Structure 1
Amino acid sequence: MNIAIIGYGKMGKTIEKITKIRNHKISLCYDGTPSLHLLKNSNSDVAIEFSQPHSAFNNVKICIENDIPVVSGTTGWLEKFEIIKKICKKRNGSFLYSSNFSIGMNIFFEINKKLSKLLHLYSKDYEITIEEIHHKEKIDKPSGTAISLAKDIVHNKMKKTWVLDEKKTKDQILILSKRFNNVPGIHTVKYESKIEDIKIQHKAHSREGFALGAVIAAEWIQNKKGFFSMKEVLGI
C-alpha cells in the first residue's frame, strides 16, 4: 500500500517508521497542505494526516476531493468537522477521524462510557474531573481526547457540560490541562463522592501506540466509502 503522510512533525516521523515496519511504501511526506499536482502524482492509496489545527481542514478536503481515503488525527479544528462530513458524503469519499488512535485509549473510551452509564443509574452525586497532561508543543487545550471523554459522560446524562474553570457547578465536568516536557499523553478520569472515589487512567509511554493505530486504520479504510472512527476499525 502507498501511504501519503501529511504533517511531518514528531508524529509524522513516527508514522513513517511504523509504516515501513508494516511493509508499506511512503508515497509522500509533506509538512503542509499538498498541492493538487503533488497529491495526484504521489499515486497514494491512502493519506494519514497529523498536522496543525489551522491546516487540517484543507488537508483533509483536498484528499477527499481527489478520491484519496484519508485518516486524520489532528485535533483542535472540529468547528469545521460537519463541513468535512458533508463533503465526504457528497463526493462518496472515505474519511476516518479519531481524537486518539491508540488501541488502548479506544478501549479506555469504552470503559469510561460504561462507567458513567452505570454510575448514572444509581447515583448523581459524583464530582467528575478529567485531567490531561501532554508535551509543551501540543497547541490545543483541552486535548481532543479529553473532550471526547467528557462528551461521552455528557451523552450518558451524568453531567450537562464540561468547563475549564475550577469554579464549576455541580452539573459540570472539570477538565484540567497541563503541559510538561516529553509527555506523550496521560488522561485521568476521576469520579468522586462522599462514599467512594473511582479513578481510571491511560498513560502513553511513546507516540508509537498512536502511530500504530493510525496505520492500522489506514489499512482498514481501503476500499471503503463513508465516514468512520476507530470504533468501526476495532469492532467495538
Structure 2
Amino acid sequence: MNIALIGYGKMGKAIESLMPDRGHQAVLKIDEHNRASLTVEQLRQADVAIEFTGPDSAPENLLLCLEAGIPVVCGSTGWLDQWSRIKAACEAQNGALLYASNFSVGVNIFFALNQRLAELMNTHPEYEVSLTEIHHTAKRDAPSGTAITLAEGILGVLDRKKDWVNHLSDHPEELEILSERIDPAPGTHKVRYTSDIDDIEITHTAHNRKGFALGALLAAEYIYGKKGIYTMKQVLGL
C-alpha cells in the first residue's frame, strides 16, 4: 500500500522502518516543517493515512483525511472530547476510521486481561484498585490514552468505582491514576489490587516502539478498502 504518515517523529519513523518488509511505502511524510503539504490533493496519493501527531492537530488532520476519501488510522490521544464531531464527519463522508489509544498487540491483550480481572474483582470489595502509568517526558497528555482505556475497562464492570482521577485519592468511588514522566521510558502501565491479605498486580512494559509501529501497520492493512469505524479489537479478533 501507499501510506501517508501524518506525524513523522519517532513513531512515524518507526512505522516507516517496518514498511518495506510488509510491501508498503510512505508516499507522504508530514511533520512540523512541511505542514503546508498536508492537503486533500496530496493525501489522495495514498491508500491509507496513519496519524500520530497530538491532541491539538489530530481532529483537523482526521477531517482532512475523511475529506480526501482515504481510510485513516489514528494513534493520537487527548482529543476525544471531539469524538462526536469526528464520528459524525466519518459517517457523513462514508469514510473509514480506526482509532486506538495504543496499537501494541501486547497492550490490547492487556486491555482484555484488565477487564476480565475487574470482572472477577467485582464481588471482592476488600480489594482496592489503582493505576500507574510511566512515559517519557515528551508525552504531552496525562493520563495517557492507554491509562484512560484501562480505567474505562475497569469502570465498566467494577460497580464500586464511578470515575477516574489523575491524582492520589481516598474517595472510595474514585479510581486513582498516577502519571509519571521519566526518560527514556516508552511506556509502562500497572493495575494493582490491594487488600490486607495480599496484592494482585498486572503490568505491561514496552521495551521499544516496534510493537506500537507494527500494530499501526496491522491496523492500516485491516482498514484498507473498508468503511466505518473500527478499533484494535476488530484487528486482533479480541
TM range (shorter): over 0.9
| Alignment partner, residue 230 of structure 2 | 228
Query: Which structure 2 residues correspond to residues 89-108 of structure 1 after superposition, within 5 A?
Result: 89-108=91-110
1:175 CA drift (Å): 0.4
- The corresponding residue for 1:215 is 217
Alpha-carbon shift at residue 21 of structure 1 (Å):
2.6
Superposition CA RMSD, Å: 1.1
Aligned-residue offset at 1:135? 0.5
Choose from 161, 165, 174 the match for 2:163: 161
Name segments (4+ residues, structure 1) moved above 4 Å.
Answer: none
User: TM-score, normalization: structure 2?
Assistant: 0.95
Listed as ranges, the matches of 1:7-86 within 5 Å are 7-31=7-31, 34-40=38-44, 43-86=45-88
Deviations 1:98-153 (A, max 9, x none): 00000000000000000001110x21232111100000100000000000000111
SS in 1 for 2:226: coil
| Structure 2 unpaired stretches of 5+ | none
Q: Partner of 1:5 in structure 2?
A: 5
User: What secondary structure is seen at the aligned counterpart in 2 of 1:136?
Assistant: coil
* Contact map agreement 2:40 2:67 (CA 8 A) in 1: no
Whole-angstrom CA distance in 2 between matches of 1:21 and 1:60? 27
Match of 2:79, as an amino acid? W
* Residue equivalent to 1:147: 148
Alpha-carbon separation, structure 2, partners of 1:44 and 1:207: 24
TM-score (norm 1): 0.96
Instruction: Tell me the number of residue pairs that the alignment of Structure 1 and Structure 2 aligns.
Output: 233
In structure 1, stretches of 5+ residues that fail to align are none
